[in-house]
Structure 1
């Protein structure tokens, strides 16, 4: 049996802007995992997971039509990861085999609700890694990222793929997304093997080392949010307010770049200052787009953390899920946790997924 793990993630800064090529974000991988096990089968293949069952369809009404949207169903990402990894295996001269795939996730609550820790990305990366081992394919982290990104984007259709990067590289990373239009064009003319060998325009992943006294606090609102749908709404809204959106991108880039420098110099105060600025920028984007990013409960969570000495903001697309707080380890955070619980925010006792090797392949 082959068993691999892929960690979940949280966005620290740079959300929404990062969907544009070259725009920076900071993301952290967490010590909660999707575990994928694979064994060869002689008679029939199977995909099993107690968390991910293909027994639900999600749809909305568009006039008189039923429109199905399964971009938040991890089962589809598993199938896409299998399809593209096996296509790559065929290109490498491998013979396809039957297998049994078992998937277990720590990235959802016990009652099945999502924490917003990037379960679809982690299950994509985990499936790709397991199948690569199964077929004897030796890929670097960069190549695993590219193959996983292609499979994930084929289902979701939008997003920065930063959650894929966090699951592949682990730890704290500075991430800049690739040009999606370039990839779409290349897929018509290049094989997967060629795509994995290419340099992808604007793509960049940099490992970061946090200050020693930095503590990451995570609060969960208990309300799931759909990243793909929120990104859709922002894209539609900002298309008619292009100049204001460009100003948001410029300000976000300056903010996250300064925050990256704070990581490089070990300056916790600078990181906290930029977190506060990034929160304000996302609030302005929310007003601009009329999309609810910082919900009432997320606002309460952030305000309580700031009053307790931390710098706080929404994480990821917002609209629910989690918020994060960057605070000094010298501060007693129990009071903040207690206040969060009083308003209905659950503190998540999660640690950063540590990486022994900080190099990028």
Structure 2
């Protein structure tokens, strides 16, 4: 490590102080901590939970910035000592590399400044053209996102996963809870194209199939949505998917039909009818909010992106398993030949690559 690298890292730490608005965040956290200490704070549980989560996110950002400052001090100290003892050179190099990674993560988190970016997400996968192949592809994406959420330390709750008649899934909806979950996963909105040798084709021919991914924010309780319960038809039925005790043996699954818009939401993977109903209303509320936003803007909703037919020519990303191995995002140009890793949930380079491209536009 040389003085130029150290100066560059110091400049990046200074930049982070500015773009993270450290002073403002510190003041806001102090205000929230004061509010949480007041008597009766937990009398309104939903509001208290929302404020506690907001304070937690601020505290995490401030801790990460403080850690970067500490790493810079460590790198400086090791660099100064390396002139007297060569053994400190390696320590300085390791400290600089660690600081570089910290600053990359801080820069990434700064990109998510949208209204709901820091919050949780509702991710839905629907099969497109391709028949049985599309159902199988739907399940493959479902597994990919579930594993990705696990790798990020996020909580993934399956709200709806309907098995297809022969293989795969007819649809899947997952609620993903974690810091910046909605902001990060907004990269996945659109049509995903798979090319491979079909496991159902006796002649082993190459097939192309599609699935669409929709990502909506989990709306805070203080967001008002025009939802009249009288406009919603509630149907209950027996769950069709695998589940725990009581699932499949009672009418626990819930289908909501919003009569004015025709929006249909189903949820069947929670343990009770009440839990399924609450989850379904959460999804319906998000979709109605999306619809209202689109009407206000008089354009396609930015929360979900432009809706396209789930078929060739409309995809955002290609996953090619044959005749070669390649995953390529058609917006950012990021690609990798390690298809197995991607389908196993290692999609960070694609997600981050998309957001780098988005910020640069």
**TM-score, with structure 1 as normaliser:** 0.28
Higher relative contact order (CA 8 A, sep 6+): 1
Please identify which structure carries the higher helix content. Answer: 2
**TM-score, with structure 2 as normaliser:** 0.28
State which structure, 1 or 2, has the greater radius of gyration over its C-alpha atoms: 2
